[in-house]
């Protein structure tokens, strides 16, 4: 059988014009694209550049380093340390459940809380996640490589002395702005001015390059306080010990420097740690300048100055306190016993209410009031710290005999521990007033004479008898130094008038008496355990702090006292 012969059908060849048409189409498309590119590059260059920059270029603030706060010897009291803050752009948030869990765990944020925060701010471009965290934690967050998550360098305030300087320095908030104390009072100079730069970012929000520095940050100014950290520490330790041992409500202590008016120390109890979040904001107030109390017998030296300045009395004058009480209008004023005739020095030494009341009633109606007003009572000291109280010195007390008598021994008006210290500063300076300062002074400021120098010096010397063995404050004596001061034990006002169970224990003192280097006021508010008097509660604090302070200030002991002569 013969094999069948197969034939192949030959495919038709496409016409040549199709090939050229296809080439023409491609060539035309290429020309159109090129033309469009040229047009965009020429006619719409500015628009496209602006759109690209809007998506990749950002302006970023450069934080300014807050000024350092130093004590008078250059010890740092408040410094700023670099920290990182984490933020996110919720619009770019496409985090998985696992990524949210990892982020919440690293930042110690509840996962559900984080989810709600992201959902709530979905339309926003910037939301803080955590502010001012440790750089090590920030590195862990960065290692997660999460979309939309970025960092900002900031500064966090750190206080090396902790509670010791808390009330004086105050704190800053999360934005590094002062909200209390020195930090608030001098915030404008401490804060500085942030800088500004232009940066290039990728689509995840990470900085790729710094394009331009538009304005450098202006660093905050440093502050040199008048405070001596050594004295601040002594004062803090002894005040805390006294408040705890006497189960007291609170306490304050102020030390001023005669000759310059500088504040050497200012402490309060209870205190707080400024390096930790503060839960009880009432603890933040500087009680030494905000809280007012009736000063009790601590103002008796000023009453004696008022009497001596009238010219009707001399330092050697005698007041008869027999039979141990005196009736003034509706009020019977008593001493613990009949002390008979007392010189001015003995009036202070025994703290006689009867003698002071008799003197007050024999003086012109406004004599004591005017002396207290000259000493600075009833107006703030001008120290410049936030929250300072002016106290209360009502002029109406001059019209009522009872009020005039009680005013003379410290009732019927109120003041702060700092105001009382300012009054004693004038006594220490021989009747001269110095404006107070919390900043270190290079030279003494202009002064104002308040009281006669001879009279004020006489009264200052009388204060030494108060700390003698038969005075009201032998526990205020400082070995090796002649010191002086005055106790005060004032009853506090309750719902039914003066409360015999609640007291304020005071001691205001000067050391040394013949060449004053420190003026100190100690207040223990409502001691509940043990004695309650200023001589037993506040005077020992003065002695312990003054002893350490005088050594720290290199004040040489008095040779006669070291030999056993004198007090």
Percentage of the chain modeled with pLDDT above 90: 62
Given a cut of 90, whether residue 481 has pLDDT beyond it is yes
pLDDT digits (tens, 9 = 90+) for 240-289: 999 999 999 999 999 999 999 999 999 999 999 999 887 677 789 999 99
Closest CA to 103 of 127, 86, 125: 86
| DSSP character at residue 442 | S
Residue-level pLDDT at 72: 97
Is CATH 3.90.1310.10 what the domain over 57-84+154-225 is classified as, yes or no? yes
Spatial separation of the C-alpha atoms in residues 491 and 357, rounded to whole Å: 18
Spatial separation of the C-alpha atoms in residues 505 and 47, rounded to whole Å: 77
pLDDT digits (tens, 9 = 90+) for 166-177: 999 999 988 889
Spatial separation of the C-alpha atoms in residues 451 and 371, rounded to whole Å: 9
Which of 47-56, 184-193, 220-229, 387-396 comes out lowest in average pLDDT?
47-56
What are the start and end residues of each CATH 3.40.710.10 domain in the chain? 229-272+284-562
Dihedrals phi, psi of 209, to nearest 5 degrees: -155, 140
Highest mean pLDDT among 63-72, 274-283, 517-526: 517-526
pTM of this structure: 0.83
pLDDT digits (tens, 9 = 90+) for 9-54: 666 766 777 777 777 877 777 777 776 666 656 665 565 555 555 5
3-state SS assignment for residue 189: helix
Pairing between strand 448-449 and 484-494?
unpaired
Spatial separation of the C-alpha atoms in residues 113 and 122, rounded to whole Å: 14
Residue-level pLDDT at 114: 81
- Return mean pLDDT, the chain: 87
Residue-level pLDDT at 566: 43
pLDDT digits (tens, 9 = 90+) for 329-349: 999 999 999 999 999 999 999
Which of 145-159, 260-274, 356-370 comes out lowest in average pLDDT?
145-159
| Both tokens assigned to 506 | 């005071």
At 60, the pLDDT band (50, 70, 90 cuts) reads low
Please identify every residue annotated as catalytic: 297
Residue-level pLDDT at 462: 97
- State how far Cα 357 lies from the chain centre: 40
Dihedrals phi, psi of 423, to nearest 5 degrees: -65, -40
Closest CA to 544 of 469, 475, 470: 475
- Are 186 and 223 in contact by the 8 Å Cβ rule? The answer is yes
Dihedrals phi, psi of 139, to nearest 5 degrees: -65, -40
Given a cut of 60, whether residue 309 has pLDDT beyond it is yes
Given a cut of 50, whether residue 438 has pLDDT beyond it is yes
Spatial separation of the C-alpha atoms in residues 439 and 435, rounded to whole Å: 12
For the beta carbon of residue 289, count every other beta carbon within 10 angstroms: 25
- State how far Cα 103 lies from the chain centre: 36
What are the start and end residues of each CATH 3.90.1310.10 domain in the chain? 57-84+154-225
Is CATH 3.40.50.1970 what the domain over 229-272+284-562 is classified as, yes or no? no
Judge residue 379's burial from the number of C-beta atoms within 10 Å of its C-beta, 0-12 exposed, 13-18 middle, 19 or more buried: exposed
Which of 98-112, 168-182, 267-281, 520-534 comes out lowest in average pLDDT?
98-112
Helix (H) or strand (E) holding 463: none
| Both tokens assigned to 340 | 């008979």
pLDDT digits (tens, 9 = 90+) for 416-437: 999 999 999 999 999 999 999 9
Residue-level pLDDT at 368: 96
Percentage of the chain modeled with pLDDT above 70: 86
Given a cut of 60, whether residue 565 has pLDDT beyond it is no
Which of 95-99, 261-265, 490-494 comes out lowest in average pLDDT?
95-99
Q: Which residues contact 352 (CB under 8 A, 6 or more apart)?
A: 319, 321, 335, 339, 342, 346
Given a cut of 90, whether residue 546 has pLDDT beyond it is yes
């Amino acid at each position: 059988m013969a094999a069948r012969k197969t034939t192949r059908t030959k495919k038709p060849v496409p016409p040549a014009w199709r090939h050229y048409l296809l080439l023409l189409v491609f060539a035309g498309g290429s020309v159109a694209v090129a033309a469009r590119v040229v047009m965009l590059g020429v006619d719409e260059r500015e628009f496209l550049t602006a759109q690209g920059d809007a998506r990749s270029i950002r302006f970023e603030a450069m934080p300014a380093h807050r000024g350092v706060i130093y004590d008078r010897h250059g010890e740092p009291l408040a410094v700023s340390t670099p920290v990182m803050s984490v933020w996110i752009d919720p619009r770019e948030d496409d985090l998985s459940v696992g990524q949210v869990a990892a982020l919440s765990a690293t930042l110690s944020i509840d996962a559900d809380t984080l989810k709600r925060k992201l959902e709530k701010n979905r339309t926003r471009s910037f939301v803080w996640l955590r502010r001012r965290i440790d750089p090590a934690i920030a590195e862990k967050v960065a290692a997660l490589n999460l979309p939309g998550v970025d960092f900002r360098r900031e500064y966090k305030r750190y206080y090396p002395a902790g509670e010791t300087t808390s009330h004086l320095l105050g704190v800053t908030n999360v934005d590094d702005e002062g909200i209390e104390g020195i930090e608030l009072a001098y915030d404008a100079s401490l804060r500085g001015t942030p800088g500004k730069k232009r940066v290039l970012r990728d689509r995840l929000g990470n900085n790729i390059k710094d394009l331009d520095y538009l304005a450098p940050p202006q660093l905050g100014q440093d502050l040199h306080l008048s405070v001596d950290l050594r004295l601040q520490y002594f004062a803090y330790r002894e005040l805390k010990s006294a408040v705890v041992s006497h189960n007291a409500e609170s306490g304050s202590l102020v030390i001023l420097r005669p000759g310059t008016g500088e504040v050497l120390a200012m402490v309060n109890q209870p205190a707080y740690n400024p390096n930790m979040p503060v839960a009880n904001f009432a603890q933040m107030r500087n009680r030494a300048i905000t809280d007012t109390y009736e000063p009790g017998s601590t103002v008796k030296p000023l009453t004696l100055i008022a009497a001596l300045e009238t010219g009707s009395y001399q330092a050697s004058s005698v007041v008869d306190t027999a039979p141990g009480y005196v009736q003034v209008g509706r009020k019977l004023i008593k001493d613990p016993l009949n002390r008979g005739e007392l010189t001015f020095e003995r009036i202070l030494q025994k703290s006689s209410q009867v003698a002071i009341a008799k003197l007050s009633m024999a003086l012109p109606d406004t004599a004591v009031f005017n002396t207290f007003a000259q000493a600075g009572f009833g107006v703030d000291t001008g120290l410049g710290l936030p929250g300072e109280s002016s106290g209360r010195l009502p002029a109406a007390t001059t019209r009522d005999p009872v009020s005039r008598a009680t005013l003379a021994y410290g009732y019927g008006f109120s003041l702060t521990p700092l105001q009382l210290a300012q009054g004693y500063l004038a006594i220490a300076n021989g009747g001269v007033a110095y404006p107070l300062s919390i900043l270190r002074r290079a030279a003494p400021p202009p002064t104002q004479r308040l009281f006669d120098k001879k009279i004020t010096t006489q009264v200052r010397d009388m204060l030494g008898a108060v700390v003698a063995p038969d005075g009201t404050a032998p526990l205020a004596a400082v070995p090796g130094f002649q010191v002086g001061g005055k106790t005060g034990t004032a009853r506090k006002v309750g719902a039914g008038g003066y409360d015999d169970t609640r007291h304020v224990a005071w001691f205001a003192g000067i050391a040394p008496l013949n060449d004053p280097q420190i003026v100190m006021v100690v207040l223990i508010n409502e001691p509940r355990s043990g004695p309650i008097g200023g001589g037993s509660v506040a005077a020992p604090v003065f002695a312990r702090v003054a002893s350490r302070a005088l050594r720290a200030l290199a004040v040489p002991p008095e040779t006669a006292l070291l030999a056993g002569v004198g007090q």
